[in-house]
Structure 1
Amino acid sequence: MSGVVPYVAGWVGFGFTVRVVALAIQQRPLLQKPMTHALSAAFFGGVGSYIYYLEQRQLELIQKRKHTLLENRKRKREYEEAKAKEHAMAA
């Protein structure tokens, strides 16, 4: 769980910064309507959380696929070695 907290905190900071920059571009007071800052931070925090868990699921799928490919290569190598021995014995 410790990996998700800094990740989400970074996205929360990004969301807050986006809101401040948007207000700065509009030349409005930077802390006007603080609830919008909180909503922006919460939204980006949710995005960060989603991305973190999406990345974890993808890494898990990649590991499963890697394991499957390695098992297939091992079986293919064993099959080819058996065929070579069989061919050598026949000759």
Structure 2
Amino acid sequence: MTLITTVTGFAAFGVAVRAYALALERRPVFDNPITHVLTATFFGGVGAYIYHAEERQVELIEKRKQVLLANRKRRLENGADKAAASSS
């Protein structure tokens, strides 16, 4: 997912949660619209943080994968060298 869709999705979820909370209290849903803006901003910020955290995690996993593949390749080469040396 892209950053825009993640932030927009979290912001929409925040507004929906705020509207649902007001509806449960039987208060007018759009009585004070600034609270909806603040809620959307907060949840949008949470969405941006989660998006960037996920990107960092994917990058770290990719680096770790490259290290593990290099270790596997080196271990296979060492095993092939030892097998060639012992058969000669």
Partners of 1:3 and 1:23 in 2: CA distance:
31
Letter in 1 for 2:12: G
Give me the CA root mean square deviation.
Answer: 1.0
- Per the alignment, residue 67 of structure 2 pairs with 68
- Per the alignment, residue 18 of structure 2 pairs with 19
**Deviation digits for residues 24-83 of structure 1 (CA, Å, limit 9, x no counterpart):** 010100001110000000000000000000000000000000000000000000000000
Per the normalisation by structure 1, the TM-score is: 0.94
Which residues in structure 2 correspond to 1:1-91 (within 5 Å)? 3-89=2-88
Letter in 2 for 1:53: H
Partners of 1:32 and 1:56 in 2: CA distance:
38
Question: Percent identity between the aligned chains?
Answer: 49
* Unmatched 5+ stretches in structure 1: none
Partners of 1:32 and 1:26 in 2: CA distance:
13
Per the normalisation by structure 2, the TM-score is: 0.98
Letter in 2 for 1:12: A
